[in-house]
Each structure stands twice: as C-alpha cells, then as structure tokens.
C-alpha cells in the first residue's frame, strides 16, 4: 500500500491541486481591482487621402496618443495590449472597425505614455466612402494575465471628421 | 446449490473478478476523460475548447507551451479579440489577434483581418491563395483564459513520439498493476 509509487502519486496530485488553486485565486483576485485609466487622442494631420487603384479609400493620419493605464496593472498582469481603433459605418457595412496603432505595455512603469505617430496599419475602407466621413476613435486595452482570465475595456473618445476631398 | 457456490469459488480463485474490476476502472478513466472533453465542447461552444500555443507569434503574451481556453458564442467578433482560426489547406489552427473588422449591413457577415502581436505584418500572406479576409466560419473560438507552461508536455510528446508511448505504457501498467 505505502509503496514509493503510491506516495509519489499522492505528492504529485497534492502539488498540482495546490498550484491549480493558487492560479484560480490569482485570477479571481483580478476582479477586485477597479482600473480607472484615462486617455487623450488628437488627430494632428491628414498626411494623404486617396483612392487606391482598386477603388478603396485610404487615409494616412498623424496622431498624438497619450494615456495612463497604470491602474490596469495588478500583480497578476503580464502585459497590457493597447490599441487605437477607428470605428465608422457606411451604407455597405454596419460596422467598420480598424486598428490604427497598437503597442504592448510590458510593465506598470511604461503604462503612462504620450506618443506622436502616424497610423501603423492602413486605414482603408471597403469601397470609397471616406470623404467627409465622421469616425470614432476608441482606445482599447486588453489585460493579459500571468494566469487566468483575460480582461478588456475601452474609452470612446471624440471622433474626427475626414475632409470632403482627397488630398 | 453446491454447484454454483463451487463455481463462484473457483472464479474467485482464478482472480477473474480482479481482472474485470481492473478493466472497468481503466474503462472509467478513459470514458470520464472523454466525458470531460465532450462536456467542455458543449459548454464552451467551441469544437476545441483547449488549445496549446505552438508558435512564437504572440510572444510575450502567449509563449510556446501555454494553454488557452476558448469560448465560442453568437457575439460578433470585434477588433482586439484573440481568436483561433483555421485556414483552408492548413492542418494546424492559428491563434492571433483581430486588427480589422468589417460587418456587412444586410447579411451580418463579417470580414476579419488578424495579426500576431509579435509579427511585423498582418496575416494576409498566410491566408489561402486569393483570400483577403477571414469569415465567421474560419473562427474556432476566442481566447478567454490562459494557463502558462501546462501545454509543454504536449509539445514534447508531438516532437518526440517515443516519450508519448513510454508515458502511456507506464500509465497503463500502473493502472493494471495497482490493486488498491
């Protein structure tokens, strides 16, 4: 009965159970933090605005993004993935959601930032509906935990009105 | 009935009863594992509720060998979500983040573009020939939870199958020989 195999098995089972319990508790403790991030985004310039050869509108913007996501970090946070999305609707599509810029924030020390950038990904429409289009800018962040459940939230900011003509 | 009693006694002596109960307990282990898997499929709505991360394209968020828990429901896919999808002509599903969504007004169909957090460019180059977007039917599930390291055993077993056979053999032997 009390062979080596038996004891090893019991020890392993206990160890795995305790580890699983600790992971569950670490993930559960994330629920008690109430993050209150702030963000501000400004469109500084429309660098170009054109119709591609395939007929789709494309815009290049210069953006100033500042945000304070320090409160999104808990002791169970591995990193926070933050991105800025443009959201608008057209007659063809009830929703277009395009990520313009994103970044990985590895630690709390880097979670307060201000960055001056052009859009990292193309803002391209499915069609040519962008002239005079009003779109929303939303800062999303996804909290990736060391273990357990992932969280996500967003701040919707004032939109931007694209020019009536290509440039 | 002396005859029945004698037969039963002899059965006990040949330990057929022991062998049968071993077989049943082995069967119980196999079937309960199957039940848990099928139960997970039912409750998460995803055909593969647990996946192991095989590539480095989502580092440092997800490392090779991490386990992801998937969920699938009627909620529409949105940018920022981490989805697992299949590409026609590829065996292994891919775990990447959605960076662009276009939802058609009339039909409600979606066009989705993905990218790995650790990759420099979006995934269009690895989609099937001529495919520009993912549709809902390509998506297996969205990642909701994460458990580090646990899947590494799976990676080792796929890369060195001999370890798999040794492990299965040892486990089988353990179940068959343990008498308690």
> Looking at the predicted structure, is the pLDDT value of residue B178 above 80?
no
**Range in A148-152, B111-115, B154-158 with the lowest mean pLDDT:** B154-158
Co-location of B120 and B87 in the same domain: yes
What ipTM was assigned to the predicted interfaces of this complex? 0.88
Whose structure tokens read 């089972």?
Answer: A13
Q: Mark yes or no for CB contact A95/B101 under 8 Å.
A: yes
Co-location of B25 and B74 in the same domain: no
Q: Which of B61, B102, B148 sits opposite A93 (nearest CB)?
A: B102
> How much is the average pLDDT of A134-146?
93
Co-location of B89 and B139 in the same domain: yes
Q: Which of A79, A97, A150 sits opposite B79 (nearest CB)?
A: A97
pTM score > 0.95 for this model? no
Assess if residue B72 is contained within a domain: yes
Co-location of B80 and B120 in the same domain: yes
Average pLDDT for chain B: 87
Structure tokens of B50? 């647990």
CA–CA gap between residue B117 and residue B9 (Å, rounded): 68
Co-location of B59 and B140 in the same domain: yes
Q: Please, what is the angle between helix B16-44 and helix B2-13, to 10°? A: 70
Strands B82-85 and A112-118: unpaired
Distance in Å, alpha carbon of B61 to nearest chain A alpha carbon:
7
CATH 2.60.40 fits A34-161, yes or no: yes
Render pLDDT for A67-115 as a digit per residue (tens, 0 to 9). 999 999 999 999 999 999 999 999 889 999 999 999 999 999 999 999 9
State how many domains chain B has.
Answer: 2
């Amino acid at each position: 009965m009390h062979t080596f195999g038996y004891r090893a098995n019991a020890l392993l089972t206990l160890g795995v159970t305790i580890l699983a319990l600790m992971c569950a508790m670490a993930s559960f403790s994330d629920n008690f933090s109430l993050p209150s991030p702030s963000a501000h985004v400004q469109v500084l310039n429309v660098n170009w605005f054109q119709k591609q050869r395939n007929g789709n509108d494309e815009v290049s913007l210069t953006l100033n993004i500042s945000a304070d996501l320090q409160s999104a970090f808990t002791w169970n946070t591995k990193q926070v993935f933050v991105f800025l999305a443009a959201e608008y609707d057209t007659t063809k599509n009830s929703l277009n959601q395009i990520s313009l810029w994103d970044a990985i924030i590895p630690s709390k020390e880097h979670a307060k930032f201000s960055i001056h950038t052009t859009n990292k990904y193309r803002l391209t429409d499915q069609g040519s509906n962008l002239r005079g289009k009003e779109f929303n800018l939303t800062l999303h962040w996804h909290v990736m935990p060391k273990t357990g459940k992932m969280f996500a939230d967003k701040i919707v900011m004032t939109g931007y009105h694209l020019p009536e003509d290509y440039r | 009935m002396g005859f029945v009693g004698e037969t039963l006694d002899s059965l006990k002596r040949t330990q057929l009863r022991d062998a049968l109960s071993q077989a049943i307990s082995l069967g119980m282990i196999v079937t309960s594992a199957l039940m848990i898997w099928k139960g997970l499929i039912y409750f998460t709505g995803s055909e593969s509720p647990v996946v192991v991360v095989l590539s480095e394209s989502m580092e440092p968020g997800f490392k090779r060998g991490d386990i992801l828990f998937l969920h699938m429901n009627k909620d529409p896919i949105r940018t920022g979500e981490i989805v697992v999808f299949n590409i026609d002509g590829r065996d292994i599903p891919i775990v990447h983040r959605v960076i662009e969504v276009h939802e058609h007004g009339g039909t409600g169909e979606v066009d989705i573009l993905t990218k790995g957090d650790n990759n420099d460019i979006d995934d269009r180059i690895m989609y099937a020939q001529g495919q520009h977007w993912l549709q809902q039917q390509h998506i297996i599930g969205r990642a909701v939870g994460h458990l580090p390291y646990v899947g590494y055993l799976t990676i080792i077993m796929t890369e060195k199958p001999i370890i798999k056979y040794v492990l299965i053999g040892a486990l089988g032997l353990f179940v068959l020989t343990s008498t308690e």
